[in-house]
A and B are shown apart, each in its own frame.
Chain A
Amino acid sequence: MARAAMAPTQTALPRQARWRGMIADWSSDQRAFKGVSWGKAMMWVFLLSDTFVFGCFLLSYMTARMSTVEPWPNPSEVFALTIGGAEIPLILIAIMTFVLITSSGTMAMAVNFAYRRDRRRTAILMLVTALLGAGFVGMQAFEWTKLIEEGVRPWGNPWGAPQFGATFFMITGFHGTHVTIGVIFLLIIARKVWRGDFDRGAKGFFTSRSGRYEIVEITGLYWHFVDLVWVFIFAFFYLW
Chain B
Amino acid sequence: MAQPSMADGHDEGQQHPVRLYLVVWVWLFILSACSYAVDYLQLQGYLRWSLILLFMILKAGLIIAVFMHMAWERLALVYAILLPGVMVLVFVALMALESDYTLATRLTYLGTDP
Contacts and interface: CB of A to CB of B under 8 A. Distances in A.
Interface residues of A, number: 74
B18 A235 contact: no
B60 A37 contact: no
Given A101-B28, A228-B64, A36 B35 contact: no
A36 B36 contact: no
Contacts of B4: 6, 201, 210, 212
A51 B88 contact: yes
Contacts of A89: 39-40
Interface string A1-30: 111001011100001001101100110000
A34 interface: yes
Q: Determine the main DSSP class of B at the interface with A.
A: helix
Contacts of B113: none
Given A48-B85, A62-B92, A225-B68, A36 B32 contact: no
A127 B5 CA distance: 26
The residue in B2, B14, B77, B79 that gathers the most chain A C-beta atoms within 10 A of its C-beta is B77
Contacts of A225: 68
A117 interface: yes
A40 B14 CA distance: 12
B99 A97 contact: no
B106 A69 contact: yes
Interface size, B (range): 35 or more
Contacts of A227: 63, 67
Nearest to B58: A231
Interface of B: 1-6, 8-16, 18, 21-22, 24-25, 28-29, 32, 35-36, 38-40, 42, 48-49, 52-53, 55-56, 59-60, 63-64, 66-69, 73-77, 79-81, 84-85, 88, 91-92, 95-96, 98-100, 102-103, 106-107, 110
